[in-house]
């Protein structure tokens, strides 16, 4: 893949490339970003590993494709189309038997690849049964179950995201899993535009974010900000999260946010510290066919302080702080989604070049959503 | 009506007539069964008699036609279109006065046949009022209020279902009345395909249903199964229901299920018994215009045991058992309906000849549903 | 404006002009009244003044246009389009700073006229920001916040309704503010047709309303009724409301109801009294774009009795009575709206000339609603 670097400092940005509403106003010929689907040829988390217990099936989804996950007696997780081939009843309502999953209704049994292994009552004279349902490639990593919803032949060639801090003894990970009623693109824009700290003024105090530099490539946008605390009171959880592991307490931090399609990361390095105080990795996985709802999976890797046990004590405060920040962000992005639905199109009037860049990246790397009713199918979803 | 018998034993079925998805796949030219409406030229239960108290009106419906039932002071039940001719306010919100029903809003009064008997404030110079609203033929039997939603001229020629066990001193009846969010056809298919006992494994144990024979006619499908209990624990209510009245306790029963359009029955005869331990009669009455919801009315006629009072003691256990079985069936058929709505068409892949037969019968005896918005009207519904 | 008087007494009505369903049956060529929007070139209440506290913003709406109201530190109320020009997040979620309103998300600040006063982080090289959002003319009177949703140039020329009793020492005002799920026209018809007292029989007893006379003009319909109490028990609150301030206790009252587009009033004068026992002023403000829901604002001005403090004691009883009457009316008009939505058109069969008249007035003075999806816009709504 050829990547076009257009590195530029905060002061050297080229606004000529960014008309305020480039491609977003009706009639521009460009697809509305909120009608661009997440490209299926990536590994997407669809459940926390611990939620898929041995011998149990659970329902999940990617972009309107219902998926049944089940963990066999031997501990392997499989992902099947969540419709019995017989009468379309969800297989996630079924019963795990050894390595197979049996539909709850007429007891048809499926193997992990989606093939039917048994129909208990089938007679010779009966109709020819279907061969099975679609099976998805599955991988478990970082406490998450990933599936590959796109072309299965590409699964083996496509890497899982790399999270070196996850396994490091210097970091401890807090997991998040939540449904947000918005198009995934609003989540990327939210995190990349740090001018939205006003939204969190109640917990982070008054911050002055200054864009240090940004870099846009074909599949990524990265931005670094200097955060200066200029007033107001910072919540104790915020304080702990930003400094605990590094021991540095300053009035300035460097935040680096990166959309690396389709994932997003945020690293915070306190002033004079040598390593990040925390690193966040996030994926926003569309749930419904129209992709108006996404499921946010997050891994917050927090640097362990030198004092053993200190992070353990700080943990509930940090979690409370992140819950609050997430709730505020959700309120904003869901309001954006509601406005889009009422207005029927994207009327955003963006002025921040960085955000215009990430929109381009998300549009260029996604797939068009076919407008339709409840039967919408999108992405490259070959049959089983 | 000429009925084409195609009697056949379980072993001699002719699968050549049944391609797995005959008529159900898109492009087959056949109407999707879930878009076939119940034929209105039959008597349909629309309420339990005891719910229509003297001097009161209640709301019910058939296939999107709202119906007001009211019981006059003299005890007769009438059924009217549930819209005042004046301003369309439901007459079921009205007040019974003697033999008439008065709209709650401006006090227009109606006779039992739907004709207006009085408009309290009408002056000579006012506009000519409408003549009334539609009245439906009504009959009460078996503790149910039946209406005839179709061509009223056919009502007198159409028989109510015959339930000899209902009045018999040898049986006692338990009534059911519940809304199920599915097309009525899913209910017929559910009961006729006894391979679904896997769904009830928690209460009936492990059963091996063996199809003994089946018979399909123009308006009916009948199937007999031998049920062998091959393991697991059978719930006490199930035990009582299957044996109480006959005194026989065996490991095998013969179940005969029959769709006799538009009704359905199930008789269970325990091994070596001379009469059924119970007989179930059921009707699935569409509620909404699109017939995606039905109201199931059931009469479960249970053989009285020789010991007086024994059935009285068993009653709550039997009821609890039937409630649980019904809840499990509802979970399955409602999942089928949801899948149909999401997929926009019937993607079932049926392999059981019996079920392919009952689909044909339901399709051939029903009426096409006109796809439409909230104003759908279906069936032969002549004005008042 | 040329007004065509067609004054007539109750006995001299000319039904020839009123076929029972003139213009309401499909195919008549006339627009369905329930598809006629309220004309935006009037002052409409959109909030109780006391709900818009100093330094706070609240959300309201007119016919699908979302409006943010905020009261500045100096006490002035402003009304802005409730969408930040940046990312469409509601400004009503924002923060009041002095005389400006700041969006909660990226802190863009707006003046009371909708112009942007500050974008905190905008750099020289960034895209050109929008100029602002629409601002609405606002007036406060009678404890209500009024906006002018139509052509702003007409605002100064259009008078607020005149309510002399509001400021009079002889009357005390009870305010109402409630959402009703119906087209505003059902509210006008409800109040004007006093034959609907049957609906309130539980609280007003048995009334015989006799139409004394009515007068229809281009923009108004007025009707006077003589109310004779002919039986049943009248609720204590009703009793107090009708007589308290006048000291007259009789079995007959004169009610005068007037639709004076777009408002409505009702005056009750007890037999032999010289002034109204109460005067009601009401406005029914469409909330959604399809105008299937309205917000009813009411001012009930009740004559103060000679005994000081007596009204204070009667107040809770009067409020309870009016709550009940309102609940009954709401039940009826919402049933009408549901019928309209199910039937997809107005199938009313009106026979009362007065109501046919008010329909004409509402149709002639309103604006057509463009049928559409969730993005409907109606009325004359010029940009900011």
Assess contact for C171 and C302: CB atoms under 8 A: yes
- CA-nearest of B348, B353, B181, B331 to A104 is B331
Q: What are phi and psi of A151, to 5 degrees?
A: -65, 115
Q: Where are the alpha helices (DSSP H) in C133-223?
A: 164-167, 184-192, 201-204
Residue A291 has a pLDDT of 98
Assess contact for B234 and B205: CB atoms under 8 A: yes
Distance in angstroms (rounded) separating the CA atoms of residues B137 and B160: 12
Which helix (H) or strand (E) segment holds residue B212: the answer is strand B206-216
Q: How far is A19 from chain C (nearest CA, A)?
A: 6
- CA-nearest of B321, B46, B336, B28 to B188 is B336
Per the document, the length of chain C is 384
Residue B249 has a pLDDT of 61
Bridge partners, residue B80, by sequence: B68, B135
Residue C381 forms contact with A (CB below 8 Å)? no
Q: What are phi and psi of C282, to 5 degrees?
A: -140, 150
CB contact under 8 A, C126 and A15: yes
Distance in angstroms (rounded) separating the CA atoms of residues A54 and A50: 9
B138-141 and B36-37 as β-strands: parallel, antiparallel, unpaired?
Answer: unpaired
Q: Which residue of C has its CA nearest to B104?
A: C199
Q: Kindly list the partner chains of chain B, i.e. chains with 3 or more CB atom pairs below 8 Å.
A: A, C
Chain B residues within 8 A of C202 when measuring between CB atoms: none
Q: What is the tens place of the pLDDT at every residue in B170-215?
A: 999 999 999 999 999 999 999 999 999 999 999 998 888 999 999 9
Q: What is the tens place of the pLDDT at every residue in C300-354?
A: 999 998 887 889 989 999 999 999 999 999 999 999 999 999 999 999 999 999 9
Cβ atoms within 10 A of the Cβ of C383, count? Answer: 8
Q: What is the ipTM of this complex?
A: 0.87
Chain C residues within 8 A of A199 when measuring between CB atoms: 104-106
pLDDT at A101 > cutoff 70? yes
Q: What is the tens place of the pLDDT at every residue in B234-273?
A: 888 888 887 766 666 667 899 999 999 999 999 999 888 8
Chain C residues within 8 A of A10 when measuring between CB atoms: 123
Q: How far is B165 from chain A (nearest CA, A)?
A: 31
Q: Per-residue confidence of chain C (384 residues) as pLDDT tens digits? A: 333 333 333 333 333 333 333 333 344 567 899 999 999 999 999 999 999 999 999 999 999 999 999 999 999 999 999 999 999 999 999 999 999 999 999 999 999 999 999 999 988 777 788 999 999 999 999 999 999 999 999 999 999 999 999 999 999 999 999 999 999 999 999 999 999 999 999 998 888 899 999 999 999 999 999 988 887 778 888 888 877 666 666 678 999 999 999 999 999 998 888 899 999 999 999 999 999 999 999 999 999 988 878 899 899 999 999 999 999 999 999 999 999 999 999 999 999 999 999 999 999 999 999 765 433 333 333 332
Residues 6+ apart with CB under 8 A from C183: C33, C34, C286, C291, C292, C294, C337, C340
Query: Rounded to whole angstroms, what are the CA distances from C224 to A17, A120, A239, C201?
Result: 69, 78, 71, 20
Bridge partners, residue B65, by sequence: B62
Residue B239 has a pLDDT of 80
Residues 6+ apart with CB under 8 A from B239: none
Compute the count of residue pairs across chains A and B with CB atoms less than 8 Å apart.
86
Could you check whether the bond before residue B297 is cis, i.e. omega within 30 degrees of 0? no
Q: Which residue of A has its CA nearest to C106?
A: A196
CB contact under 8 A, B342 and A105: no
DSSP string across B12-69: T--GGG--TTTTTSTTSSSPPGGGEEPPSSS-EEEEEGGGS-BT-EEEEEETTEEEEE
CB contact under 8 A, C86 and A351: yes
3-state DSSP assignment of residue A12: coil
Task: Using pLDDT thresholds of 50, 70 and 90, give the confidence band for residue B233.
Answer: confident
Q: What is the tens place of the pLDDT at every residue in B100-143?
A: 999 999 999 999 999 999 999 988 777 788 999 999 999 999 99
Select the residue of B85, B89, B128 nearest C336 (Cβ to Cβ): B89
Residue B250 has a pLDDT of 64
Residue A375 forms contact with B (CB below 8 Å)? yes
Residue A29 has a pLDDT of 63
Select the residue of A107, A126, A373 nearest B353 (Cβ to Cβ): A126
Q: What angle do CA B341, A128, B255 make, to 5 degrees?
A: 75
Residue A25 has a pLDDT of 39
Task: Using pLDDT thresholds of 50, 70 and 90, give the confidence band for residue A20.
Answer: very low
b/e A239-263 (16+ beta carbons within 10 angstroms → b): bbbbbbbbeeeeeebbbbbbbebbb
- CA-nearest of C332, C302, C298, C299 to C317 is C302
Q: How far is C11 from chain B (nearest CA, A)?
A: 8
Residue B125 forms contact with C (CB below 8 Å)? yes
Select the residue of B13, B331, B340 nearest A125 (Cβ to Cβ): B13
Q: How far apart are the first and last CA of chain A?
A: 29
Residue A198 forms contact with C (CB below 8 Å)? yes
Which range has the worst mean pLDDT, A121-135, B54-68, B201-215?
A121-135
Assess contact for C355 and C192: CB atoms under 8 A: yes
- Name the DSSP letter for residue A22: T
Chain C residues within 8 A of A198 when measuring between CB atoms: 102, 104-107, 120
Residue C247 has a pLDDT of 63
Residue A248 has a pLDDT of 60
Cβ atoms within 10 A of the Cβ of C6, count? Answer: 14
Q: How far is C10 from chain B (nearest CA, A)?
A: 9
Residue B198 forms contact with A (CB below 8 Å)? yes
Chain B residues within 8 A of A127 when measuring between CB atoms: 15, 18-20, 350-353, 356
Chain B residues within 8 A of A109 when measuring between CB atoms: none
Burial of C272 (0-12, 13-18, 19+ CB in 10 A): exposed
User: Which B positions 202-231 lie with beta carbon below 8 A of chain A?
Assistant: 209
Burial of C136 (0-12, 13-18, 19+ CB in 10 A): buried
CB contact under 8 A, B126 and C341: no
Chain C residues within 8 A of A336 when measuring between CB atoms: 87-89
CB contact under 8 A, A125 and B353: yes
Residues 6+ apart with CB under 8 A from C244: C277, C302, C303, C305, C310, C311, C314, C318
CB contact under 8 A, A106 and B196: yes
Query: Mean pLDDT over residues A110-127, rounded?
Result: 91
Average confidence score pLDDT of chain B = 88
Residue A22 has a pLDDT of 36
Assess contact for B335 and A93: CB atoms under 8 A: yes
Average confidence score pLDDT of chain A = 88
Distance in angstroms (rounded) separating the CA atoms of residues B267 and B248: 15
Cβ atoms within 10 A of the Cβ of C372, count? Answer: 13
Q: Kindly list the partner chains of chain A, i.e. chains with 3 or more CB atom pairs below 8 Å.
A: B, C
Lookup: tokens for A112: 């992990």
Higher pLDDT, C80 or B26: C80
User: Which B positions 273-332 lie with beta carbon below 8 A of chain A?
Assistant: 331-332
Query: Mean pLDDT over residues B314-327, rounded?
Result: 95
Q: How far is B355 from chain A (nearest CA, A)?
A: 11
Task: Using pLDDT thresholds of 50, 70 and 90, give the confidence band for residue A125.
Answer: confident
pLDDT at A326 > cutoff 80? yes
CB contact under 8 A, A106 and B198: yes
Bridge partners, residue A264, by sequence: A259, A282
Average confidence score pLDDT of chain C = 88
Residue C129 forms contact with A (CB below 8 Å)? yes
Q: Kindly list the partner chains of chain C, i.e. chains with 3 or more CB atom pairs below 8 Å.
A: A, B
Task: Provide, for chain C, the percentages of residues in helix, strand and coil under a 3-state DSSP scheme, each rounded to the nearest 5.
Answer: 25, 30, 45
Distance in angstroms (rounded) separating the CA atoms of residues A2 and A5: 9
Chain C residues within 8 A of A350 when measuring between CB atoms: 86-87, 127
Chain C residues within 8 A of B287 when measuring between CB atoms: none
Chain A residues within 8 A of C102 when measuring between CB atoms: 198
In chain C the domains, ranked by start, together with CATH numbers, are 8-37+162-368 (3.90.380.10), 54-137 (2.102.10.10)
Q: What are phi and psi of C192, to 5 degrees?
A: -70, -30
Distance in angstroms (rounded) separating the CA atoms of residues A169 and A192: 28
Which range has the worst mean pLDDT, A65-74, A137-146, C20-29, C63-72?
C20-29
Q: Which of A88, A94, A124 has the highest number of chain B CBs within 10 A, making it the mutation to test binding with B?
A: A88
Lookup: tokens for C274: 């010289």
Distance in angstroms (rounded) separating the CA atoms of residues B249 and B240: 10
Residue A288 has a pLDDT of 97
User: Which A positions 11-30 lie with beta carbon below 8 A of chain C?
Assistant: 11, 13-15, 18-20
CB contact under 8 A, A343 and C85: no
Residues 6+ apart with CB under 8 A from B304: B169, B170, B171, B172, B245, B311
Which range has the worst mean pLDDT, A33-37, A366-370, B51-55, C122-126?
C122-126
CB contact under 8 A, C86 and A349: yes
Distance in angstroms (rounded) separating the CA atoms of residues B218 and B360: 9
Residue A5 forms contact with C (CB below 8 Å)? no
Assess contact for B83 and B90: CB atoms under 8 A: yes
CB contact under 8 A, A87 and B13: no
Q: How far is B239 from chain A (nearest CA, A)?
A: 22
Distance in angstroms (rounded) separating the CA atoms of residues A184 and A176: 16
- CA-nearest of B153, B206, B168 to B299 is B168
Q: What is the tens place of the pLDDT at every residue in A182-201?
A: 999 999 999 999 999 999 99
Task: Using pLDDT thresholds of 50, 70 and 90, give the confidence band for residue A307.
Answer: confident
Q: What is the tens place of the pLDDT at every residue in B276-297?
A: 999 999 999 999 999 999 999 9
């Amino acid at each position: 893949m050829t990547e076009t670097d257009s590195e530029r400092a905060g002061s050297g940005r080229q606004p000529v490339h960014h008309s305020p509403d480039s491609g977003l106003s009706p009639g521009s010929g460009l697809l509305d970003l909120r009608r661009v689907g997440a490209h299926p040829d990536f590994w997407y988390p669809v459940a926390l590993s611990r939620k898929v217990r041995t011998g149990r099936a659970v329902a999940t989804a990617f972009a309107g494709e219902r998926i049944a996950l089940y963990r066999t007696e031997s501990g392997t997780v499989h992902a099947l189309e969540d419709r019995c081939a017989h009468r379309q009843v969800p297989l996630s309502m079924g019963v795990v038997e050894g390595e197979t999953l049996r539909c709850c209704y007429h007891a048809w049994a499926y193997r992990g690849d989606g093939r039917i292994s048994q129909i208990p009552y089938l007679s010779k004279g009966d109709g020819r049964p279907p061969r099975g349902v679609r099976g998805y490639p599955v991988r478990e990593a970082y406490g998450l179950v990933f599936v590959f919803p796109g072309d299965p032949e590409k699964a083996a060639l496509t890497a899982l995201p790399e999270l070196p801090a996850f396994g490091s003894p210097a970091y401890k990970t807090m997991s998040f899993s939540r449904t947000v009623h918005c198009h995934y693109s609003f989540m990327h824009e939210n995190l990349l535009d740090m001018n939205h700290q006003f939204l969190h003024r109640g917990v982070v105090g008054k911050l002055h974010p200054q864009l240090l530099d940004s870099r846009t490539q074909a599949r990524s946008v990265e931005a670094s900000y200097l955060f200066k605390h200029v007033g107001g009171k910072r919540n104790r959880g915020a304080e702990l999260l930003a400094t605990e592991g590094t021991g540095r307490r300053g009035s300035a931090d460097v935040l680096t946010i990166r959309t690396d399609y389709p994932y997003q990361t945020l690293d915070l390095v306190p002033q004079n510290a040598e390593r990040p105080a925390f690193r966040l990795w996030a994926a926003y996985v569309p749930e419904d066919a129209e992709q108006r709802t996404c499921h946010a999976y997050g891994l917050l890797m927090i640097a362990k302080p030198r004092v053993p046990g200190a992070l353990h004590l700080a943990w509930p405060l940090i979690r409370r702080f992140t819950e609050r920040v997430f709730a505020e962000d959700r309120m904003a992005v869901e309001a954006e989604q509601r406005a889009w639905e009422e207005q029927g199109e994207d009327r955003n009037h963006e002025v921040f070049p960085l955000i215009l860049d990430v929109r381009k990246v998300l549009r260029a790397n996604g797939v068009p959503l076919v407008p339709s009713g409840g039967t919408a199918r999108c992405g490259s979803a070959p049959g089983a």
